[in-house]
Structure 1
C-alpha cells in the first residue's frame, strides 16, 4: 500500500485499537489454485507475538483453509469510515481555486502468516470469546449454553479455526493532513452535515492538532 508520510499511522497501539473497533477484516490468500478474499470477524490478541495475533474461523465448506498451507503469507485489511471529499468544502478554494476532489479513509493492513487450527478446543474457545465480546452490550447477552448441547456441538464441528501471526502492520489514515487547518475543518463540517460523523470527528482532531494558520 502506498502511504505518503503525512497519512502514515506508525503507532502499533493505535492500529491495534483500530482493529478491535473494526474487527471485520478482508483476508487475502494466494492458495494452491487461486487468489481469494474472505470477509471474517477477527479477534486480536495484541500480546501474542511482537505485532499481535489474529484469530478467526471459517465454515468447513469454505475452501480457504484447504487451499493454504501453514506459514503461507496472507494480508488482512481492516477499514473504517470513508467518504468523498469535494473541493467546494475547502474555504481556500474560493480564494485561489487550486483544489481537486479526493477520498478520505482509515485503513490498517495486517501482514502475517496463517496457521489452520482444525481442533474443537480452539474453535470452542474462540467462539465463546467472540460471543462475549459482541454480545456484551445486549440487555440479555446470548451465550453458547443457551442453545441445545447437540446443536452447539454440530455447529462447532461445521467450522475451522484460522490463526494469523502478524509480521507487519501498516496504517493509513487519510484525513486531509496535507491541507491547512481551516480547509480540514471546512471539509469535516461538510462531512458532518452529510452524516459521516466518525470521519468528521477524526478530521476535526487533525485540524485541532495542526492549529490555526498552518
Structure 2
C-alpha cells in the first residue's frame, strides 16, 4: 500500500535538539516572567494560567507563584500542555521581533519540499505546542516552510510514546495507518507508531541504533516509495 502521508517529529529529526535546549528554552526562561506579568489578565493567557494551577494542584497560586512553577517546569523539561502554550506565545513575540529563527536541517528542507511537490501530505507531531511548531517552520532560517504542511499535532492528541495517539492522528488525517510514514529519532515513539500500524523510519543523526526500524542519518536517504 503506497505511502500517502508523512508524519514527522521535530527535535532531533527535522531540527537540532540543541536549538530547543540552547536557544528556545533559555529564551522562554528569560522572557516568560515578564510576559506572564504583563498579560495575565488576557483571556488566552489567563486560561493557560488556570491550567497551570490545575496541573500543579495549586488552585490559589498567584501570578508570582505561577511564574516560579513555570520556570521549574522549563528547567525540568516538563511536557505539560499549558507550559508549551505559554512558551509558544513568548516565542511568537521573539520570532516576530526577528530575535529567533527556526532551525531546520538543510537535508530536511530539501526533502520536505521534494515530497510536497510529489504530492505527499506532510504533517508534524511534536511535544511542543502547535503554535511553536508553526513558528519553527514558518520563521525558519530557510524561510517560510509552513505552506508545505497539511496539519500539526501536539500532546493534545496524546503522549508520543502511546500507540493510541497515532491512531487518533491517522483518523484525523483520514488515511489508513499503512499509508502513513512516521519519522522520529526516539525508539519508543517509533515503537508506538509501529504498534498503531504506521510505517516508521528512525533518524540517527548522531549515530546509535533504533532496533526494529529502518534508520537513516539524514532525510536524503529516505525514499517513501520503499515503505
Query: How would you bin the TM-score normalised by the shorter chain?
Result: under 0.3
> TM-score, normalising length from structure 2?
0.22
